[in-house]
Amino acid sequence: MLNAMTRQGLRITDQRRTIAKIFAKHDGYLSPKDVYEQLRKVYPGVSFDTIYRNLRLLSDVGLLARFYFMDGGQKFKACKLDHHHHPLICVNCEKTVAFDYCPMDHLGDLPGHYKIVNHRFEIYGICEACQQHGNYV
């Protein structure tokens, strides 16, 4: 992630370095609050706003994927930088399965002559394990 930040022209601050380490150690999703709680152990004076701005910036440049969960909360996850994919997300256990199909590849002409600069596509459901155990909402 640090090499990708450099390639994007981002300054690598100590806080961004620590954020990268947090996501490298965690395979799942983290809310801004999760990151804030971990980061303030190292930087007690850090503000939640600073954390949120950094998460949004890293998401905007494609280093973190931002997901909107059904409960209304945003969560972030480190992106796989080797290829473009979209997630199937279990709303119960948050297990994610990536798939390579991209609906943008099949999009025809858009109204208003829009030039697409970015997109997000997520599918939410119940994974097979949660269905088998019947422990979902």
Q: Does 79 appear as a known binding residue?
A: no
Q: Does 133 appear as a known binding residue?
A: no
Q: Does 119 appear as a known binding residue?
A: yes
- Using DSSP, state whether 70 is helix, strand or coil: coil
- Using DSSP, state whether 30 is helix, strand or coil: strand
Q: Does 83 appear as a known binding residue?
A: yes
Q: Does 113 appear as a known binding residue?
A: no
Pick the closest to residue 26 from 40, 45, 39 (CA basis). Answer: 39
Q: Does 130 appear as a known binding residue?
A: yes
Q: Three-state SS across 73-116? A: CEEEEECCCCCCCEEEEECCCCCEEEECCCHHHHCCCCHHHCCC
Binding positions for Zn(2+): 90, 93, 127, 130
Binding positions: 83, 90, 93, 119, 127, 130
Binding positions for Fe cation: 83, 119
